[in-house]
Structure 1
Amino acid sequence: MGPVPAQQWGDARQTAARLDAEHVRAIALTWVDNAGVVRTKTVPTARLAPAVQRGVGMSPVFDVFTADDAITASAHLGGPDGDLRLFPDLERLTVLAAQPGWAWAPVDRYDQLGTPHPACQRQFARRMVERAADAGLALRMGFETEWVVSRAPLHGRWPDGAAGGGRLDGAVGTGDPLEYPCVGPAYGMTRVVELSDYLRDVAEALALQGVEVFQLHPEYAPGQFEVSTAPSDPLRAADDLVLVRETVRAVSLRHGLRASFAPSVVAGQVGNGCHLHLSLHRGERSLHRDPDARWGLDPDAVRFLGGILEALPALLAIGCPSPASYLRLAPSMWVGAYQCWGVENREAALRLVTGAPGDPDGGHAEVKPFDAAANPYLAVGTVIAAGLHGLSAGAELPPPVTGDPGVLGVRERARRGIVRLPASLTESTDRLARSTTLAEAMGEVLHGAVIAVRRAEAAHCAEMEPADIAAATRWRY
């Protein structure tokens, strides 16, 4: 990206004319900050070509925004000085089905001279994809997105005659009452019947935007749903996650509902995950389908996954970046609270999915602890970096864990080498700060900014009760 040649200027002008003919009047240009919040600048459609040619101005201070819009500082970022340029990716420009008259495009960030901004998370993800390609590896990734819906109050009160659902326990005293729009059981068809129009509109909007949906279904917690999308290259997967989340948000509002992607909507209840799935390939060959290898894994896949498993304590500061994330990460809740892996084990932090025998591309792995407070570009980039380190260092996978490690005694877990992953944001941030692998991959500016944001959010919530943490972060993601 950066300053573009004349051909792209012409393409942008043609795209703007097409959008105008389709009655698209504005374009949302988005990036995701280090706190996991999707931020935006918007431009009229007529200004698309200048935006593609010269970018749109923004302050680099957004890299040290926290989720509650406070501003911290790192050694390199913070304060009023400096300026950046946002360059939209025309290849990802999408007309928004649930926001009539709007389109969307993710951006890459550069300085005024056209040099890549060292804290641009999207360019970091792209660099890691290229680094994997240099090692002869191609990755495919996809996310599961979970969210909870409630009825949306009008000007602080509920619509007259609002019916159905039950009051959301735990919201007392937050000043933000919640009410579920459905009462059906976990994974129950009743929920689909109750909200069939809403779910149909979610599916239709995503399809119109070119997002392939694998599954859309009720989840475990009250009012909770999940959408799983098709795997793609890592950068596109991260873009798709942003598009999916904002589409669900827009469809929800059009139905008088409000969507929360927060890790913990109500303290003490099952939270929202955002599991990352990945598969490894060399050319057309899947590294998860070796018929002569243990677990079906090519030796390079073993080393790559071993690197991810080894780095998980530090990766939690990326994939579980909010103090609310650690309200969700409890043992025996199918979130992967222990540093272990397993074959088809949903209590393992790293789950190997073998897939159907007849599916040549069915095998893959799942990183379970991650949630939707994570910046998806940081998530895919750091997971690739950890895997590549494992590949070069010859990492191994220990014996897989079966069953729930949370029910094993302390001595048995110690005997098997199963340790608890960080139980607080402070602990995971300390691990990230000490990770030379991730520091090298991210670079000093990005690594330092992420750590500054994590420490600021941890300090802000240090004296808060779990219910207050959940309430404070409920609508930030």
Structure 2
Amino acid sequence: MTTLADPVPGGRPGDVERATALGGELAGRGVHGVVLAYVDTAGIGRVKTVPTAKLATAAAWGVGMSPVFDTFLADDSVVTTDVLGSPDGDLRLYPDLDHLVVLSGQPGWAWAPVDRITQEGERHPGCSRTFLRRIVADAERRHGLTFKAAVEVEWSVGRGTAPEGTFEPAVSGPAYGAARQVELSDCAADLLAALAAQGVDVEQFHPEYAAGQFEVSVGAADPVAAADRSVLVRQTVRAVAQRHGLRVSFAPAVLGRGVGNGGHVHLSAWRDGSNLHSGGACRYGMTAEAESFAAGLLTHLPALTAVTAPSPASYLRLRPSQWAGVFAVWGRETREAAVRVVTGTRGLRDRAANLEVKPVDLAANPYLALGCLIAAGLDGTTSSASLPEEITGDPARFGAAEAAARGVRRLPVSLAEAVAEFRGDEVVRAALGPVLADAVVAVRQGEVAAVDGLDDEQVAAAYRWRY
């Protein structure tokens, strides 16, 4: 389980002693450095590293990092809010020792996610991992609910020898095809071995639809661990591919047209060890709380897209009839719905039933995405929101009048539209708090301005190798 206690100057009880022992163990295994990892508001993974011998010092006193990164854009330019984006100040990065792993894909290195606190020892209001920990802890304390989550990881594999800035698929086999799996066989086997060595529970690995595209699905965990795992999996995919002379992109759209890379979120709510999405008296075995949780997601999805689809390139992916979930509707096993009700196979439903949220990609900060999704769902349960009519098939088939009559709403078609929805959603903004909410708006507006006047292919190229 994830450590939910906040870091403190001098280290939490037992952390320094544990880090000292870990440092010696890591050194004995040939590990020379530890990657301290977090994700910024733009969804970019940022790191500092320390020699293995300094792990105990990092556990006690943290490692310095400027708060300016909370308002970095994907291209590394900086925007500002009233409290973020200046050259002033410092934060301390504290590794979560519970989630430290030796990187099999990067020999000589270990990895740990971090929480960020101020030099005064207080929570940094812009720390997305701390935000998610708070949401999870508050849900259990106030509602008696816990959650399980998993983030699907899709990526495009390109040739490392392609001209700078371009994408050439490294495999040529058909979508979901055996030929494509064979073409990437050695790299894929090394990837699965690395993930297993790192303790990542892989459920599936397979070729996907788009050119050079693959997907790995991992087992569910508590939301903070699930977000950590999403970051770790991408670090591992990138490292293993590079050792095979390949280059990978997790960008929402590698090309201006066609199917993009998703980061679908699977989420289930639990009370006292029972899955609320199974064994209930409502539709498809859901409990009344599970239906209301899904209704909360649907209500807030237009605003949530500013968090779950945060790049201008996200909207090249979010197109109808591409299984991207661009309509705020739900359906059982309906892959065109934004919220897919997954009941699981008979005999496994008490463990497997969950909700899949589809308008999510890997430009999203997974901590922000999961925290906001949970907050939206909880708003539904608190108000006992009613889940509307189920929509099956492709909602794009409805004309405007029928769509309106059925309550079928198209999600934002641009990042600018998503930001406008976000600004008007008090629930999502309140969950984030004013510092993080303002950072989301500033960074998204900065990304919109950065691509002003670019066509679809140019937008895809601008973000192709940023994620």
Q: TM-score range by the shorter chain?
A: over 0.9
1:216 is matched by which residue type in structure 2?
Answer: F
3-state SS of paired residue (1:361): helix
Is the contact between residue 128 and residue 385 of structure 1 (CA under 8 Å) also seen in structure 2?
yes
3-state SS of paired residue (1:406): helix
Aligned residue for 2:370? 380
3-state SS of paired residue (2:113): strand
* Partner of residue 323 from structure 2, selected from 334, 337, 340: 334
String of CA shifts for 1:401-446, please: whole Å, max 9, x gaps: 0110112212111111111100000111111112111121111111
In the TM superposition, residue 183 of structure 1 has moved relative to its aligned partner by: 1.1
- Distance in 2 (CA, whole Å) between partners of 1:383 and 1:247 is 26
String of CA shifts for 1:212-266, please: whole Å, max 9, x gaps: 0000000001100000000010000000000001100001000100000000000
- Distance in 2 (CA, whole Å) between partners of 1:94 and 1:52 is 15
String of CA shifts for 1:25-77, please: whole Å, max 9, x gaps: 01110110000000000111111111110000011000000000000001211
- Over 6 Å off, 4+ runs: none
Is the contact between residue 150 and residue 266 of structure 2 (CA under 8 Å) also seen in structure 1?
yes
* Partner of residue 428 from structure 1, selected from 382, 397, 418: 418
Aligned residue for 2:261? 272
User: Are 1:22 and 2:32 counterparts?
Assistant: no
* Partner of residue 97 from structure 1, selected from 93, 104, 110: 104
Q: Cα–Cα, structure 1 residues 114 and 178, in superposed 2: closer, same or farther, change >3 Å? A: same
Aligned residue for 2:147? 139
Aligned residue for 1:126? 133
User: Are 1:200 and 2:172 counterparts?
Assistant: no
Aligned residue for 1:166? none
| More displaced 10-residue stretch of structure 1: 242-251 or 401-410 | 401-410
Aligned residue for 1:299? 288
* Partner of residue 298 from structure 2, selected from 295, 309, 318: 309
Is the contact between residue 2 and residue 116 of structure 1 (CA under 8 Å) also seen in structure 2?
no
* Partner of residue 352 from structure 1, selected from 335, 338, 341: 341
In the TM superposition, residue 293 of structure 1 has moved relative to its aligned partner by: 2.5
String of CA shifts for 1:108-153, please: whole Å, max 9, x gaps: 0000011010111001000110121120111100011000001112
1:51 is matched by which residue type in structure 2?
Answer: A
Q: Which structure 2 residues correspond to residues 76-475 of structure 1 after superposition, within 5 A?
A: 76-134=83-141, 135-153=143-161, 176-359=165-348, 360-475=350-465
Root mean square deviation, CA, Å:
1.0
Structure 2: give runs of 5+ residues left out of the alignment. 1-6
TM-score for both structures, normalised by structure 2:
0.97
- Distance in 2 (CA, whole Å) between partners of 1:192 and 1:111 is 47
Is the contact between residue 310 and residue 415 of structure 2 (CA under 8 Å) also seen in structure 1?
yes
TM-score for both structures, normalised by structure 1:
0.95
2:282 is matched by which residue type in structure 1?
Answer: A
Aligned residue for 2:59? 52
Aligned residue for 1:42? 49
- Distance in 2 (CA, whole Å) between partners of 1:182 and 1:268 is 19
In the TM superposition, residue 294 of structure 1 has moved relative to its aligned partner by: 2.1
Q: Cα–Cα, structure 1 residues 391 and 292, in superposed 2: closer, same or farther, change >3 Å? A: closer
Aligned residue for 1:172? none
- Distance in 2 (CA, whole Å) between partners of 1:284 and 1:423 is 39
Is the contact between residue 282 and residue 291 of structure 2 (CA under 8 Å) also seen in structure 1?
no
Structure 1: give runs of 5+ residues left out of the alignment. 158-174
String of CA shifts for 1:192-224, please: whole Å, max 9, x gaps: 111111111111110000000000000001100
In the TM superposition, residue 291 of structure 1 has moved relative to its aligned partner by: 4.8
* Partner of residue 8 from structure 2, selected from 2, 20, 27: 2
In the TM superposition, residue 5 of structure 1 has moved relative to its aligned partner by: 4.3
In the TM superposition, residue 6 of structure 1 has moved relative to its aligned partner by: 5.8
3-state SS of paired residue (1:180): coil
